[in-house]
Every structure is written in C-alpha cells, then in structure tokens.
Amino acid sequence: MVGTQITDLLTDGLGVSLYVSTSAFAVALAGIFAVWFWVERSLSIHKIFTRRRELFYWSVILCTFALGTAAGDLATEALGLGFTWGAVSFGTLIAITYMAWRMGGNAVLTFWVGYILTRPFGAALGDMLTQAKTYGGLGMGALWTSALFLTVIVMLVAFAQYSVGGNRKTQVAK
C-alpha cells in the first residue's frame, strides 16, 4: 500500500504527471533489478536467504506497487482505456506472460514480468468494481469489493491447500 500511496501523493497531491511517475518508477525498478543482479548474480525469489537479497526484494516490491498504480492509472485514465479495457489489457498481458513461461520462457523473467503486471491489473480491476457507474465502474463500492476479493482469496488458498494435500496423499500411497 505504501507504493500506491506514494504514487497517489505524487499525482493527486503534488500534480506530477502519470507519464512522469510511470516513467520514473519504471527506470527506478530497472535500476534496482540491474544492481540486484550485478551484486547477487540472481533475481530468483527462491534464492533470497540473506538480508541484502531481502532488501533488494522489498525494494522491488515497493517500486512495483508504485509503478503498478501509476501505470494502471495512466492506462485507464490518461490514455483513456477505462477500467474495463484496462483490466482486460493487463489481464491479457499476464496471460501472454504465463503462456511464454509454459512454452519454456525463463522462469525468473516471466515471474517478474507477471508480478509487475498484476499491479496495474489490480488497480484497473479494483477501480472497475468500486467506482461509480458515472465514472465507468460497476459501483460496488469498497466494502463489497473487499468482501468479494476476500472470498476469492480464501477459496483459492483452500483450493491450493486441498490440491497440495491431495498430492501428498497420492505420493504417500505410492
């Protein structure tokens, strides 16, 4: 949430253009990735076991949230895609990234691309659900949208746990 608030402060409070903030956060993120790789020789989340790597990781997370908010708002508002087409566009990019991974794309690269794209996707989807119909949203409001997202998250976690538990039983039986 801090990254989102940084972008909102820059845009709404200080009048910084979404073009400028999106570009600045993209450059900052690329810089963090470059230094992280130069120093650690890996960007894999499976190799974060030192304080320094964890600091790189959390720096990337903060920057992706700020970038995601800026890019999502840029696409939906400044470029005029609207919330629905913004969510569809970023969702499609996530699907393409997933397909690239399934077809043998680099796991670390596709993870980070997918992770970065979830931020503007979430911003567009959240706005689409919460914003009033007069602004192009569905008008569900924050309470109902939060309840919906919580329900989906609980169901996904339960499904994941059930699937892992089912696989363990199958493996133990063999």
For 17, which DSSP code? Answer: -
Per the structure, the count of domains in the chain is 2
Nearest to 149 by CA among 120, 113, 125: 125
Asked whether residue 36 is domain-assigned, the answer is yes
SS3 70: helix
Kindly state whether residues 113 and 171 are assigned to the same domain: no
Tokens of 99: 């397909």
- Residue 121 CB coordination number (10 Å): 24
Kindly state whether residues 95 and 121 are assigned to the same domain: yes
Kindly state whether residues 125 and 169 are assigned to the same domain: no
Quick one: pLDDT at residue 78? 87
Domain that holds residue 169: 150-174
Q: Are 126 and 145 in contact (CB under 8 A)?
A: yes
Asked whether residue 144 is domain-assigned, the answer is no
Q: What is the rounded distance in angstroms from the CA atom of residue 87 to the CA atom of residue 106?
A: 25
Kindly state whether residues 80 and 163 are assigned to the same domain: no
Kindly state whether residues 81 and 19 are assigned to the same domain: yes
Q: What is the pLDDT of residues 67-86, one digit of tens each?
A: 998 999 899 988 989 999 99
| Helix ranges (DSSP H) in 41-81 | 51-73
Kindly state whether residues 155 and 83 are assigned to the same domain: no
Q: With left for phi above 0 and alpha for psi between -120 and 50, is residue 137 left, alpha or beta? A: beta
Q: What is the CA radius of gyration of the chain?
A: 18
First-to-last C-alpha distance (Å) of the chain: 45
Asked whether residue 145 is domain-assigned, the answer is no
Kindly state whether residues 117 and 93 are assigned to the same domain: yes
Kindly state whether residues 105 and 160 are assigned to the same domain: no
Kindly state whether residues 119 and 172 are assigned to the same domain: no
Quick one: pLDDT at residue 166? 60
Q: What is the rounded distance in angstroms from the CA atom of residue 157 to the CA atom of residue 164?
A: 10
Kindly state whether residues 112 and 171 are assigned to the same domain: no
Quick one: pLDDT at residue 168? 56
User: Measured between alpha carbons, how far is residue 124 from residues 93, 120, 134 in Å?
Assistant: 13, 6, 16
Kindly state whether residues 86 and 46 are assigned to the same domain: yes
Flag residues of the chain having pLDDT under 70: 1, 166-174
Quick one: pLDDT at residue 110? 97
Kindly state whether residues 125 and 43 are assigned to the same domain: yes
